[in-house]
Structures are given as structure tokens and as C-alpha cells.
Chains A and B, each alone.
Chain A
Amino acid sequence: MARNSSVGTYVRLRVAAEAYAVPVGQVLAIVGPGDLTAVPGAVPEILGVRRLRGQIVPVINLALVLGLNATAPSRQLLLAEADGVKAGFTIEEVTSVSELSAPLDGAESGFLLGVMVSDGEPLGVIDVARIIESLRRAGS
């Protein structure tokens, strides 16, 4: 890939055996899955809540949000914050943190900033802020 001015740093990860990336600016931390407490009455995308640094943080089933069939268990949580709302997203694992060129526009899903091909593999760039905003509207 040709490097140009719109190169950015991304966290590359796997969700339901597919490759995705999240702009590093949207990621607070990668943490272990922790003990999950289910919240009856919540939307299905919210698996429950967990304790994190004295706060209670909702855990979101990222595969379900993206419309994927998660087969492997989630081993890590990607912790993100948008608009003052913190949330953890279930992922299989983080593969690397690397510089990538800007994604192509025109992705189908509303939750992708775009798609690109990297190392011969299609890579979706996830818009974590949009997912949080969408769940915020659904949850209220």
C-alpha cells in the first residue's frame, strides 16, 4: 500500500475469525474479559457489566453488533470511550498495532468507517463511537 498523508495508526484485531481495525484514538485500553454480570432487561447487544477501576462498564457483544457469528470465545475486551461513555467490546484478540493508509469509503455497514485490503486480507475499520452512540439511543 502506498503511504500517503492520510496514514493513521490502528489497532488490528480479530472478531469472529474476521480481521478488523479500530483507529487507535478511539481505544482506551485492551483488558482481559473479567467477570461479567448479566443485566436482565438490557438490549441483546449488551452482554452485561463488569468492574473496571472502580467503575461499572457495559460489555458489548461486538460480533452481534457487526452481524457476525461468533464461534471462538472472546479472550479480550477493547475498552473505548465516546462522548463520555465508556464501554468494553468483546474481541477474540488484538493482532497488532500498525500504521495503515486511510480506508476506502462506501462500506455497507453503518458501523464501519470503511474497508481496505491489508496483507492480502480484507480489513474493516470499525467506528466504535458510532456503535456507542447507536446503543445509547437504543438503551434509553
Chain B
Amino acid sequence: MTDPDTELREVFHEDVTHRLDEMEAALLAIEAGDPGTGMIDSLFRNVHTIKGTAGMVGLGDVAAVAHAVEDVMAVVRDTGTFPPGLVDPLLHATGAVRGRVNGADMPVDGLLEELAGALTALRKAGSVAVKAGAETAPPGSADPRVPGSQQSPENRLSPGALEVPARAVPEVGRELPGPAVAAASRHIPEQRSVRVDPVKLDNLLDVIGEAVQDGRRLAHALGPEAELPTALSAALSAGVRTLEQLRDSAIRMRTLPLSAIAGPLPRAVRDFARSAGKDVTFTVAGADTELDRVILESLAEPLTHLLRNAVAHGIEAPADRERAGKSPHGNVELRAVPRGSLVEIVVADDGRGISPEVADRARHEGSLADVLAHAGYSTAGEVTQLAGRGVGLDAVKSYTHSLGGALEIRSQPGRGMEVILLLPLALAVMNVLLFERGKAVFGVPLAVVDEVVAVSKPSSMGGRLSLTVRGRPLPAADVALLLGGHAPPLRHLPRALIVAVLGRRIAVLCDALIGQEEVMVKPLGPLLAGAGYLGAAILSDGRIALLPEPAVLVRGRPDAVGQPGQPGQPGQPGQPGQPGQDRQPLDPPKILVAEDSFTVRELQRIILQTAGYQVVTAHDGTEALRIIGRDADIALVITDLEMPGLDGLELTRAIRGNPARAALPVVIVTSRGSQEDRRRGIEAGADAYMAKHNFDQHALLATVERLIGR
């Protein structure tokens, strides 16, 4: 993640993505018959720059496609005519380039043929348009005579022209006319930013968090505010307030606006609408709303899925809409609204909404989100080509939960639907429910707690506790036993948190409820990585609240279940390394994550642990190899490519070279997504290769599941 090549590619990725966003916006505007002034120039400029920089970073195929698009745009610019049939081939090209810079394969030949065909058609019509259209056709006006699909083989680009080598780049300055250069350089407003290692930001947050605590402790030590001299009390509260502002600004340093990922969405919605035969207008509101960059990077995939659902399942066919008394034109909106320390991401449509049966079920069985997220449920009568595949709402729901957020759905039959993702503003901040057991404080993400009930009398059935909640029996367990610790007997009239995760529900018994609090989650570190916690939080009174993994609560520890009252057997003195827990077959698979970036490592750990896996982390290949050597339980390895010391490729080869572990599945997740990197990864023996650019946790979990065969 530190070599100059990668840095260059990251910058390239950002720049090209931005340019593709602009190009697609321009193409969609032209298609909608609303070409703004200068759109054709801007298309030409953007594709020209993409061609140049793609050559620079060695993406010859991207350069070739950009070159072909540039040829087409040159004719368009010269003739001042943009036939509507051109939009499709150009969108195909921008889509393919986007996929390619994100690490996907790009079938370049068909694309170049399509562009060559468009160019030929354009030239033929162009000679007419220049003569006749010079006075009559304003730039960008529709010319239905030129369908983009026309192919004329004799005028195709020659095969040699398909491969624009990197050395074509130096021509850039020469080819580009003067005014366009000036325009290109002012085209992106100069927003100078500073690259900071996220670890440094986290350290800053730690220290600021401690300063906030110090302030509160000082206030506490000085006694009741009312008894303090006015000046002192004012100074104190001003200080505490400043520190809290400082903390908020530090948290905000980790954020980016929604617009950073919203660029490709209008294009995606257009494609969904086309393939579903719907007429849809898509709007984005609140694009400047900020979110944690790690969350933002993972958000694109679930958002695309929800938009696809809205178009395919929500919006009705134009004829059906008219029959229902609506405009034939459907509307889909993406909006982001800050809501305290959470951000509400809403995908809204004015389509058919839920069926009356589903509305009825939701009234009886709990929230609409629960009913709809029930795996495999679809609001459409039939499974369409678009939304029938891929992840369902259940995956979106578990995604929001894994980030400590929640999924809400509002809908009425015939009146459209709103799917609301409630996400934390910053990954480090989580809304938890705090409770006490013994003298200890614990917290669980609010999103996994269904409700809290007072327990009068848990009944015991066959040695296991159970509790009747709303007329239904639920397994119940003392949180101290679930976590494998010990505590004095439960207080009289304990409380039960109904925790639901991984499709299981359990009543977690504790002494008392403290309440809901927004906390900053701090890692417990590698020494406690296997102890079953998401992390811990420092409370305002200075106490530490441990945050157990929800999966551990519903599953319990293998050695705690069925042995109430018996703590894990103590290890032998002088032998660290004996956890004293017999691994039983019901243990979930154990995954090793090798990654030198703290943020990415933590993200992957939380995703995998929330999905119920055991996770071991290593910060480089050497450490990963050591762990694999001594822990026969490791069932899969997820590794970064670039790590100090032994890198991901070397690690993969070392695993493949060890007869005992040669069959261990290896997934490479990396910021290097080029064809060449992928090929090298697969050659080294990796089972799967995923790019961080479009890091998608559903795909990660699906890949893990497939390789482990769970």
C-alpha cells in the first residue's frame, strides 16, 4: 500500500472515476435531450485525459478504448452533431473502463468494434450533417438517421490500432489544442488534500478521547456545579465543550461525502430501467452528506442492489402505472440525511410498494424490514433477471448491523417504498446498549437488541433456562456464563436483553440495564483477539465496557454451554498458550486475515466476526505463516498483496509449497486490481482475487462461504 506504483494507481483511480462520472452525466443529459453548453468539449477533454493517464499507469487496454472514444468524439466535435444512437456505445465504453480500473476484466475487442462501427456511421452521416446541418442542426440535436449499432467491417479500426501502447502518452501535449489544455487544467477545482495514515488519526482520537475523560474527571472532582464559583464553572464547561468539538472534528477527518461514490449510480439506474423496460427518473439528494470513508467504500454495492430492487421490483411498467392512476414516469431517489451521530441513507421509489399480504404479515410478525429481509423474499411476483440474483435485503440488513447500524423499511401498498439504512457517521462510533453483570459493564450494538424485558421467573427445562417472551419460549442464559466468566448469582428480578443475530434469538440475562450510549469502540488488541469481543469502550465515568461479539452471545462459548456455573478450566501456570478450552466441532470456521493496514484489518475482522466466523489477524506474511504453522484450525486465509516482509504472493506460494497445508483456501484482497496482478495472484495459487477499490463485504462473505463450503 506504500509503493509509488500503487500510490499512482490510487490517484489515477480517483481521477478517472471522477472523469467517468462527468462523462456519464453528460451522456445521460444528452440522451435526455438536455445537452448543456460545452458538453461535447468536456466529453472530448475527459476521454483524452483518460487516454493519457491510462497509458502512464500501464493500462494499455483502457488507453485503447479511450483512444477509440476520442476518435468518435473528435468527429462529433467537428460536425457539431451528436446522434442519439451514440449514447449506448459510449456508455458501454465508460462502463467497461470503470470496471477495468476497478480491477474487473474488460473484453476489449467487442467494444472496439462497436466504437469503430459508430465512428464509421458517424463519418458517413457527418459529411451530410456538415453540409446540411451546419445551419439547421444545433450542437447536440438528435439525428435519428444514425443508429449506433451499424457496423461496417471495412472501416473498422485495424487490429494494430487496438493496442495503444504506453508510449503513445507523450503525444498528449502535442495532440491537444491549446484552449482545451487550459480548459482541462481548470476542469477539476484544485482541492489540495493531505494524505494521513488512518492509524495516526486513530491515535489522535485516542488522545482526544482521553482528554475529554480528563475534563469530565476534573469536573467530577470539583464537586457539584452549582456550588462552584461562577467563573470556574463557566471555564470548566467551556473546556469540556471545546474538547468535545475537538473530538468531533477529529472524527470528521475520517469522513467523505456521499458524492464520492454516487457518481456511477445514475448510469446504473438507467441501465436497470432499460433492461426492465421501465421509465425512471433518478435523483440524488444530500450528496454532500459525510460518512466514514471505510463505510462509504463498502456502501456502493448494497446501494446498487437497493436501486436495482427499486427499479425492477418497485417501479411498475408504464402501462400498469397509468392504470393505477400514476404518471407513467417512475421516480427513484437516493438521499442522505444526517440524523445525530447517524446518517440516514434512503432509497425511495414511487412504485407498487408492498402487497397487502406483506403489510398484514408485518403487522403480526414484527417490523417490515424483518419480514422483507427474511431470506429470499421478493416483492415481485416473479423472479426477474435483474433482481432475482445477487444479495437480498437480508444481506443489506446484516451489512447495516455489522456496522452497528440498522435497516428500516416504510411502505404502503401502491404507494412506493422507502428503504432506510441507518449508518454510524464514523465506524469508530457505535450506538450500544449498556448493562451490568456482577461489577462489570458490557455493551451490545443497539441494532441487534430486539427489546429488553424484566424477568420475574425464568423457567428451567432439562437444565437449560428458558423465558417466555410475548407468549413464545426463548432460550435464556446468564451473560457471565455465555462469555465464559463467573459472577455472583443474578440479582433478584434480573433484566433480559432479547438479542437476535445470525437467525437466532436468545434472552441474555443481566443484573441491570444502564441504558443506551454512543461509544467509541477501541480494539482490545491481538492478545485478546480470540476472546470474543468487538472491542471495548471507555465510559464517561472512566469504566471500561466490554463489547461482546453478538455471535458469541447467541452461540455461547463451546465450553460454557451446558456447563453452567463452571468457568473454563485454568491453564497450567508457566504455559501461556493453553487457553484451556477444548475446541469442539460446533466451533465456527477460523479465518486468518493478513493485512498491514490497521483499518482494513479491523474492518475485515468485524465483518467476518459479525457473520459468525472466528478471526485471527496477522500484520504481515511472516506472522501469517507462523500462525498457519501452529494452528491447524485455520480454515481459510485472506491476505493483502503488499505487506512489509513476506508479501501476499510469497505467502500464497509458501502455503502452496507446504504439503500439510497446500489445500488451504487463499483469498487475495488488494488495492492492485490489474489484470496482471490478478494473473500473478492466481498463478501463485490464490483461490480468489478481490479488489479493495470496489471492496464488497457480501462478495467477500460469499467467497469465504464458497471456499470453506459452509
Contact = CB atoms under 8 A, between A and B. Distances in A.
Nearest to A139: B527
B484 interface: yes
A138 interface: yes
B240 to A, nearest CB: 16
Interface string A24-67: 00000000000101111111111001110111111010001111
Q: Can you list the 9 inter-chain pairs with the closest CB atoms, starting with the nearest?
A: A40-B485, A67-B574, A54-B210, A54-B206, A138-B577, A40-B483, A37-B544, A140-B616, A41-B484
B576 A42 contact: no
29 contacts: A38-B440, A40-B486, A40-B546, A41-B483, A41-B485, A41-B557, A43-B576, A43-B577, A43-B579, A44-B570, A44-B571, A49-B528, A51-B210, A54-B206, A54-B207, A56-B522, A56-B525, A56-B544, A58-B525, A60-B527, A64-B573, A66-B574, A84-B619, A86-B525, A87-B527, A138-B577, A139-B530, A140-B530, A140-B631
Interface stretch (A71-79, A120-128, A129-137): A129-137
A85 interface: yes
Interface in B567-591: 568, 570-571, 573-574, 576-580
B576 A65 contact: yes
Given A54-B206, A56-B524, A136-B526, 11 more contacts: A37-B546, A39-B533, A41-B557, A53-B207, A54-B210, A57-B525, A65-B574, A136-B527, A139-B526, A139-B530, A140-B627
Contacts, number: 130
A137 B526 CA distance: 9
B209 interface: yes
B630 interface: yes
Nearest to A66: B574
Interface stretch (B341-349, B389-397, B403-411, B535-543): B535-543
B531 interface: yes
Interface of A: 35, 37-46, 49-51, 53-58, 60, 64-68, 84-87, 109, 131-132, 134-140
B586 to A, nearest CB: 16
Given A37-B544, A53-B210, A43 B536 contact: no
B538 A43 contact: no
Interface in B207-221: 207-211, 213
Interface in B609-657: 616-617, 619, 626-627, 630-631
B529 A139 contact: yes
Interface string B529-562: 1111101101000111010000010000100000
B704 interface: no
Contact of A41 (B527, B531, B616, B626): B531
Contacts of B580: 43-44
B31 to A, nearest CB: 53
A134 B578 CA distance: 10
Nearest to B618: A140
Interface in B491-527: 522-527
Contacts of B440: 37-38
Contacts of B538: 51, 54, 56
B243 to A, nearest CB: 12
A109 to B, nearest CB: 8
Interface string B440-482: 1000000000000000000000000000000000000000100
A45 B571 contact: yes
A54 B576 CA distance: 27
Q: Determine which residue in B206, B208, B213 has the highest number of CB atoms from chain A within 10 A of its CB, and name it.
A: B206
A57 B619 CA distance: 19
Question: Which secondary structure dominates where chain A touches chain B?
Answer: mixed
Contacts of B529: 139-140
Contacts of A45: 571, 576
B203 to A, nearest CB: 9
Q: Determine which residue in B209, B536, B574 has the highest number of CB atoms from chain A within 10 A of its CB, and name it.
A: B574
Contacts of B531: 39-42, 139
Contacts of A60: 527
B485 A38 contact: yes
Contact of A40 (B484, B578, B579): B484
Interface string B320-353: 0000000000000000000000000000000000
Contacts of B557: 41
Contacts of B525: 56-58, 85-87
Nearest to A87: B527
A137 B524 contact: no
A60 B525 CA distance: 13
Contact of A138 (B205, B544, B568, B576): B576
Contacts of A50: 544
Contact of A132 (B527, B552, B626, B631): B527
A137 B577 contact: yes
A5 B649 CA distance: 43
Contacts of A51: 210, 538, 542, 544
Contacts of B626: 137
Interface in B48-64: none
B210 A64 contact: no
A21 to B, nearest CB: 19
Contacts of A137: 577, 626-627, 630
Nearest to A43: B579
A71 B525 CA distance: 29
B574 A131 contact: no
A64 B577 CA distance: 12
A52 to B, nearest CB: 9
A83 B406 CA distance: 37
A86 B523 CA distance: 12
B174 to A, nearest CB: 50
A65 B578 CA distance: 11
Given A35-B542, A39-B546, A46 B209 contact: no
A139 B631 CA distance: 12
B608 to A, nearest CB: 13
A109 B211 CA distance: 41
Contacts of B213: 54
A131 B626 CA distance: 16
A29 to B, nearest CB: 15
A132 B526 CA distance: 10
A138 B576 CA distance: 7
Nearest to B482: A40
Contact of B206 (A35, A53, A67): A53
A54 B173 CA distance: 53
Nearest to A48: B544
A110 B200 CA distance: 35
B67 to A, nearest CB: 47
Given A35-B542, A40-B484, A49-B544, A135 B571 contact: no
A49 B536 contact: yes
B482 to A, nearest CB: 9
A138 B579 contact: yes
A45 B619 CA distance: 23
Contacts of B576: 43, 45, 65, 131, 134-135, 138
Nearest to A57: B525
A39 to B, nearest CB: 6
Contacts of A86: 525
Given A49-B536, A66-B574, A137-B577, A39 B524 contact: yes
A55 B522 contact: yes
Q: Determine which residue in B209, B527, B571 has the highest number of CB atoms from chain A within 10 A of its CB, and name it.
A: B527
